Amino acid sequence: MSKAKPTAWGLALVALIIFPLIVTNPTWTSIGVSTLLFMACATSWNMFSGYSGYISLGSGIFYGCGAYTMALISEHAHMAGGEAQFWLVPLAGLVAMLVAIPVGAVALRVRRHTFVVITIALFFVFQLLAINASFTGGAAGISLPLIPWLFNYFNLPFYYVALGIVIFATVLSALVRRSRFGLQMLAIRDDEDRALGLGVRVSAVKLTGFVMSAFTIGMAGAMYAMFFGQIYPQFVFEPNFDITVALMAFLGGFGTLLGPLLGGLVLEVAQQYFTLTFSNGSLYLILLGAMFLLVILFMPQGIVVAVSKWWNERADKRDTALTTGIASDPATDPATAGMNPS
């Protein structure tokens, strides 16, 4: 099993790398770029919220800050549109982290349930600032310099940079999970007071996790700004984004590594398909809501957990059948009775 897992990951990576070379139509590679960015955001969100149990619905703050960083610097430095702008992406991530420090310091003072709401409130503060403050260009938004690439090339650099961001976010999340820091966050999720009692520096751990998760999301925002070439405050600070990112992680598997990636892939492709077919109208909303509802109610722990449970149950049944020669029910079979299916 430990040999198959890296191979599976490797194959998936290869598939993602060669995808735009096979499917060249810009409509599909655009969807690919959006999907990769969401996968990165969901993974990064999960790295804090999934491991610590503090559900944040304010990730839009970092996305928006990243987008505005990219837009404002591109504009004020009179940059020419193109490769040079990619260097601003990690810078935007850093800005998002800086913003996350005071935001986190304020938001993390409160109880877990109140935390959710205060992240929403803080998100709206930022949205309103973006619309009304003078340096952000107001409701007219900011236009980014025109990138002179042609249609059949345009999406490729974005795709591969986005892929790089996804890989970075996944590796980071995996490293955090295996580290002591990650264990501390998991301990906080299980029982914060006990963790505190055991000597975990709870406030510092939470804040660090929160700030770290902002980096990738800020980068994704910057990529979005560059890709679309135009940002408006009410679309870059969008409440739907916050919920979508959380939902992707839940759908895939809250707290797991593969979960947010899978959730991001499935949900974003589904959303894009819906908008291409039903174009964002009322039917789209109903279908989206129904899809969310079904997933949450029937796969509350996410696809990854549900599927691996199902797979393991089947494997157990098969193993038992092979050793005893008869297909048996794990509950009544003397070999496995009394054991919970993994």
Partner 1 sequence: MKRNGRFFRAVGVTSVAVASMALMVTTSGASSSTIAKGKPVTIGISLSLSGDFSSDGLAFEQGYKLWAAAVNKSGGLLGHQVKLDIVSDASSPTQVVTNYQKLISLDHDNLTFGPFSSLLSLPAAKTVARYGYAMIEGAGGAPSVFQAGLTNLFDVSMPVKDSLVPFAKWVAALPKSSRPTTAAYVTTNDAFTEPQIPVAQKIMVAGGIKTKYYSVFPAETTDYTPIADAVAAAKAQVVVLGSVDVPTVSAFMQAFEQAHYNPKVFIATGGPDQGTQFSSVVGIKNADGMMVPNAWYGSATTPGSQAMVAAYIKAYGGTAATISADVAEAYSVGQVTAEAVNATKSFSNAKIIKYLHSSTAKLSTVQGKVTFDKLGENNSATAFTFQWQGSNFVQINPTSSPASKPVLLPKPVWGS
Partner 2 sequence: MNSSALIHALLDGVLTGSVYALMATGLTLIFGVMNIINVAQGILVILGAYLSYSLQVHFGIDPFVGLIITIPTLFVVGVVVERLFMARLKGPERTSMSILVTYAISLIIEGTLNTFYSINDIQINAWYVNRSFLIFGIYLPYIYLFGFILAVALLGALYVMLYRTRFGASVRASLADQVAAALVGINVKRVSTICFGLGIAVTAAGGMVYGATNAFNASTSYDLISRLLTIIVLGGMGSLGGALLAAILMVTLGDVVAVVWSPIWSSPTFFFVLVIVLSLRPQGLFGKQSARVA
Chain residues binding partner 1 by CB under 8 A are 1, 3-5, 7-8, 11-12, 14-15, 18-19, 22-28, 30, 128, 131-132, 138-141, 143, 145-146, 149-152, 154, 228-230, 232, 234-235, 272, 275-276, 279-282, 315, 318-319, 322
Interaction mask 289-318, partner 2, x per CB under 8 A? xx-xx--xx--x------------------
| Inter-residue contact 200 to 107 (CB < 8 Å) | no
The CB-of-193 to partner 2 minimum distance in angstroms stands at 5
- SS3 call for 191: coil
> Which partner from the list partner 1, partner 2, none does 143 bind, CB cut-off 5 to 8 Å by kind?
partner 1
What is the smallest separation between the CB atom of 246 and partner 2, expressed in angstroms?
7
Is the distance from CB of 239 to CB of 123 less than 8 angstroms? yes
* β partners of residue 142: 231
- Find the shortest distance in angstroms from Cβ 258 to partner 1: 12
Choose between 23 and 294: whose C-beta lies nearer to partner 1.
23
Mask 219-248, x = binds partner 2 (CB under 8 A)?
--------------------x---x--xx-
> In whole angstroms, how close is the CB of 230 to partner 1 at the nearest point?
5
Q: Is 113 in the site for partner 2 (CB under 8 A)?
A: yes
The helix or strand, by DSSP H or E, that contains position 231, with its residue range, turns out to be strand 230-231
Element housing 165 (H / E): helix 151-178
Adjacent-strand bridge partners of 230:
143
Closest CB 27 distance from partner 2, rounded Å:
25
CB of 141 to partner 1, least distance (A): 7
The residue assigned the tokens 């310091």 is 105
Residue 107 to residues 123, 200, 211, Cα–Cα distance (Å): 11, 19, 12
Q: Which backbone phi and psi does 230 adopt, to 5 degrees? A: -155, 125
Q: Encoding tokens for residue 4?
A: 């198959």
197 binds partner 2 (CB under 8 A): no
Of 78, 48, 75, 76, give the one whose Cα is nearest residue 62. 48
Residue recorded with tokens 């993390």: 108
Q: Quick one: what does residue 289 bind among partner 1, partner 2, none, with the CB cut-off 5 to 8 Å set by partner type?
A: partner 2
Q: Name which of 62, 12, 19 is nearest 217 in CA terms.
A: 62
> Tokens in use for 241?
């984004």
| Site residues, partner 2 (CB under 8 A) | 53, 55, 57, 106, 109-114, 116-118, 120-122, 124-125, 128-129, 132, 192-193, 196, 202, 239, 243, 246-247, 250, 254, 281-290, 292-293, 296-297, 300
